[in-house]
Amino acid sequence: MCRETKNHSLQFKIGEDKERKKRLESFDVQFLRFHEIDVKQDIGGVLTAIENWIDRFEKRQIEHHSKT
Q: What is the span of the domain harbouring residue 44?
A: 2-67
Residue-level pLDDT at 61: 86
Residue-level pLDDT at 11: 56
Total number of domains constituting the chain:
1
pTM given for the model: 0.65
Query: Residue 27 has what DSSP assignment?
Result: T
Residue-level pLDDT at 33: 85
Residue-level pLDDT at 21: 82
Q: Could you give the CA distance from residue 31 to residue 26 in angstroms, rounded to a whole number?
A: 12
Tens place of pLDDT per residue across the chain (68 aa): 556 666 655 555 667 778 888 888 898 888 888 888 999 999 999 999 999 999 998 998 888 788 76
Residue type (1 letter), 67: K
